[in-house]
Chain A
Amino acid sequence: MEAAQTNYIGSIGLKPSMGEVIEMMASAPATETTKTKFECRDVEVFYSDKRALHGINMDVPDSGVTALIGPSGCGKSTFLRVFNRMNDTIPNARVAGQILMDGQDIYSKDIDPVLLRARVGMVFQKPNPFPKSIYDNVAYGPRIHGLALRKNDLDNIVEKSLVRAGLWNEVKDRLKEPGTGLSGGQQQRLVIARAIAVSPEVILMDEPASALDPIATAKLEELIDELKEKYCILIVTHSMAQAARVSQKTAFFHLGDLVEYDDTQTIFTNPKDQRTQDYITGRTG
């Protein structure tokens, strides 16, 4: 499966269709079971009185990519924002239930959301680089967390992060130029570099490719595939082909319920729930 995936990445523009991906997966061994990163117990999210998520129970593995799919308004983005407590910033939003990260409740009083967000990075739907230089974009996180004491250390972190985000070769000669001047795909990879510069354990991605063209999307998927070796990745996506290509586990949400959660291969080849099947075959959603 690794080989198959890197193959198509080598030839951008020849992305395998969803059918081909599923065929590839069918021939690949099932993902081996790993440690659990997040345990979600009866997670509910309310916006004022409206309940957006109805008691989600789900374990997120420590490694690999977990995709959250479902029709618009199904609560997948809301669920993603539970993991770094970004819902805290929305007035009137309330989270109930338990989310354990490595066994510790991230909504307990001992957890400071500021430190949690340093451990759980996030990439948004629309690339949102700061209106600062490329260098300052990446250096911002390490600076506020005091991760680099000397200029030299900071330079190293910036370079390493940009290399890891696959952007270094494109921007190394113009680190002082504004990050907002990059193309959409480059901006999204800059934002990823910015996120990994603070050494998170988890990266949340909220439809990261929805504003990108197919070539930039392919590059981004290639990057996600590399990053999953080092980080636990949760990705919300509208593209089922993308979920099939990049993820090992897939969760299907519908109207605030977690309908089905299984190995990606199983979800796309042998869904147990009729709603999942209707959605992935394009009959609904």
Chain B
Amino acid sequence: MSANAKTSIHQTDQALGRLAKRKAKENRFRYAGIAAVVIAMVMLGWLVVSLVGTGYTAFFQHYLTITVTLSESDLDPHGARDADQLRKANYRKIIQQALYSRFPDVTDRRGKRSLFHTVSASGATNQVRQMVYQDPDLVGRKITITVPTSDDVDQLLKGHIDRDAPEDLRKVSDQQIEWVDQMVASGDLTLEFNWRFFTSADSRDPELAGIAGAVVGSIMALGVAFMLSVPVGVGAAVYLEEFAPHNRLTDFIEININNLAAVPSIVFGLLGLAVFLNFFGLPRSAPLVGGMVLGLMTLPTIIIATRSALRAVSPSIIDGALSLGASHTQAVFHHKVPLAASGILTGSIIGMAQALGETAPLLMIGMVAFVTEIPTSVMEPASALPVQIFLWSDSAERAWAERTSAAIIVLLLVLITMNAIAIFLRSRLERRW
């Protein structure tokens, strides 16, 4: 080999071999990364598809249009139009008569009962009662109303009940299927958007149950949690980070805050039970108590997020303010806190999103109650979204399954909205400069 052909040590066969090995290693890592992303996406997609797949049908509901005769002899035998009498009247009979007159062939008791069970018993009677109560002039008239079908009929038409199964293994009898098919054919039984799901509170009957009570309860609890934990958390963080002396006591406090962030949420529920309910005597199941417990739970998250946001502010900005004669407090509140605001906000909203999904502490303070009214104040009994999901998932009827999934979809939508707000606010605050 001549002197001119002498190659660098980076061009020998061994060097090229090492390079190939290095590249192979890089490629292996890249494939592992892609595989991880694909697995994560598949799992997430699976979750979403199964949720939406079972849940979307709950957003629609079958309704039956029937003509009812509000006979005076049934509703108001004395003709006084007394409110009390109108409320107590037998509306069940009104609905029954409407159905019997539609299918005059049905004469036996069993047949009549099973015919009545094709509509939502309490849903239909309450609807008529409300109408008459609000407008007593309706008595003696014949009106056409649209009432929800029973959950079994609804499930049958949605295909969740197998028509081919033996009759004794099926919630709907052959006779009922026949009536339903006739009503569908005549156009009286139709599928409509399930507004009730978004406007009413919980109910024993799946076809009447809605998510509104739980959403309002969750919003109230979150509002209380936000008002408690954000001012206290940000204040504590600013003090600890900027003003507190560094000594054993503050070290101890810091360790405890970090530990609190890892405490299981049910422990906060027990604390709420012991302190807020037993000691202070606050009402059970109230969003006020739920919010305070969730606020306490979120406090460490907010303190930690705020401290790291404050630490991330460039010290040169603070030096600049101090060198102009700003006091330490002015430098902190004119410059440091505003610059950390987006981080503080992101931390707070993430903490709130966490609190929104929390179930265990709410069970401890009684927010697991069956509440059929939409709460109007934080002192009234209420449920919360995750607790509502928990309650419904535990119920037996087939119709609850789709409602549970639908409630989860609503919870996820609320969470996505909150995170979107966080991202929007962060970019707004950062874009300012």
Instruction: Give residues in A with beta carbon < 8 Å to B.
Output: 84, 86, 89, 91, 114-118, 121-122, 124, 126, 128-132, 140-141, 144-145, 178, 180, 191, 194-195, 198
Contacts and interface: CB of A to CB of B under 8 A. Distances in A.
A117 B322 contact: yes
B324 A194 contact: yes
Interface stretch (B313-321, B363-371, B388-396): B313-321
Interface range, B side: 10 to 19
A86 B327 contact: no
Contacts, number: 63
A121 B327 CA distance: 14
A128 B320 contact: yes
B433 interface: yes
29 contacts: A84-B323, A86-B319, A86-B322, A114-B325, A116-B325, A117-B322, A117-B323, A117-B325, A121-B323, A121-B324, A122-B319, A122-B323, A124-B319, A128-B317, A130-B317, A130-B321, A130-B335, A131-B317, A131-B339, A132-B433, A140-B321, A141-B324, A144-B326, A144-B330, A144-B334, A145-B325, A194-B320, A195-B324, A198-B324
Contacts of B432: 131
A250 B246 CA distance: 40
Interface of B: 246, 314, 316-317, 319-327, 330, 334-335, 339, 432-433
A117 B324 contact: yes
Contacts of B330: 144
Contacts of A128: 314, 316-317, 319-320
Contact of A114 (B326, B334, B339): B326
A89 B319 contact: yes
Contact of B433 (A84, A89, A122, A178): A178
A206 B368 CA distance: 64
A124 B316 CA distance: 8
Contacts of B325: 114-118, 141, 144-145, 198
In the complex, which of the residues B320, B323, B327 has the most CB atoms of chain A within 10 Å of its own CB atom?
B323
A191 B246 CA distance: 32
Given A130-B321, A140-B326, A144-B324, 11 more contacts: A115-B325, A117-B325, A124-B319, A124-B323, A128-B314, A131-B432, A140-B334, A141-B325, A180-B433, A194-B320, A195-B324
Contacts of A122: 319, 323
A195 B322 CA distance: 11
B323 A130 contact: no
Given A114-B326, A198-B325, A191 B433 contact: no
A191 B330 CA distance: 18
Nearest to B430: A131
Contacts of A89: 319, 322
A115 B321 CA distance: 13
A166 to B, nearest CB: 20
| 10 interchain residue pairs of minimum CB distance | A118-B325, A122-B323, A131-B433, A128-B316, A141-B324, A117-B325, A128-B320, A178-B433, A114-B327, A114-B325
Contacts of B326: 114, 140, 144
